Amino acid sequence: MSTIQTKPAPVGGLRLHNFALAVRDLDAMIAWYEAVLGFAVSERGRFDAVGADYAMIEAGGMRIELVSRAGETGRPVDRTAPPGHLNVPGWKALVLETDDLPAATAALVRHTVEIVWADQPLSAHLRSTMIRDPEGNMINIFGPAK
């Protein structure tokens, strides 16, 4: 007698709610994301179940949850430089897109952010500027090659 095994159906109806980023200094990171990338706080609160404060920040239809357990000692951010960062499993970067990468890059320079690379060609059609936020998290901004 043969039995036919069927795979269960995947979970349906999912959509992205937000990207969560654990930070050490919630207020400083809110200020940086507002001043440099134009995000605005849409909600602040506390997750009692995990003893963490959070701020939901939004810009351009994107939502990032900054979450912090104040007073806790955290592990350092993995600051492996590209391309070696791809050898470390896990999330690599927040990836954003712009129609004018040179202008975005110039604005980032004016904000004196840590730039990993600026307006670098990735392919015949795509360029990128990669930066780090104040706590070392990478943010990659794509734009069209001109």
Indicate the domain borders of the chain.
17-70, 81-146
Looking at per-residue pLDDT, the higher value among 3 and 14 belongs to: 14
Predicted TM-score (pTM) of this structure? 0.87
Residue with tokens 């110039």: 106
Q: Say how far apart CA 113 and CA 126 lie, in whole Å.
A: 22
Q: Is the pLDDT of residue 125 over 90?
A: yes
Q: Is the pLDDT of residue 75 over 90?
A: no
Eight-state DSSP code of residue 43: E
Residue with tokens 């794509």: 142
pLDDT, tens only, 30-74 = 999 999 999 999 999 999 999 999 999 999 999 999 999 987 677
Eight-state DSSP code of residue 84: G
Which fold would CATH assign to domain 81-146?
A: 2,3-Dihydroxybiphenyl 1,2-Dioxygenase; domain 1 (3.10.180)
Average pLDDT, the chain: 92
